[in-house]
Amino acid sequence: MSNRVKFSSQATPDLLSAMRSIAREEGRQFQAVLEDAMAHYIESKRGDNPRPHVMDHLRASLIRNNACYQDPWL
C-alpha cells in the first residue's frame, strides 16, 4: 500500500455531493474516487494519453468506415 498524505480543501456542496454519490454507487471509498478524479485531471492536463472513451469511439469509427480508408488506386 502506498503512503498517503492528508490534506484539506473545499468544494461546492453540489460537487461534493456528486463525488460522494459516485463513491456510494460504486461501493468505493470517497478518497479512492477523489484520487481517481485527480489522476484523470492530471492526465488530461498533461495531454500524454487520449481518454479511453475517445479511443473507443475512434476504433469503432475506423471499423465502421473502413471502406472510406481504402485507396482506390491500389
pLDDT attached to residue 51:
78
Grid-cell match 476504433, residue found:
59
For the chain, which residues make up each domain, given as ranges?
13-69
pLDDT at 71: 74
- Mean pLDDT of residues grouped by 10 in the chain (74 residues)? 87 97 97 94 79 89 85 71
> Is the pTM of the predicted complex or chain greater than 0.95?
no
Q: What is the pLDDT of residue 45?
A: 84
Alpha carbon distance, N-terminus to C-terminus of the chain? 56
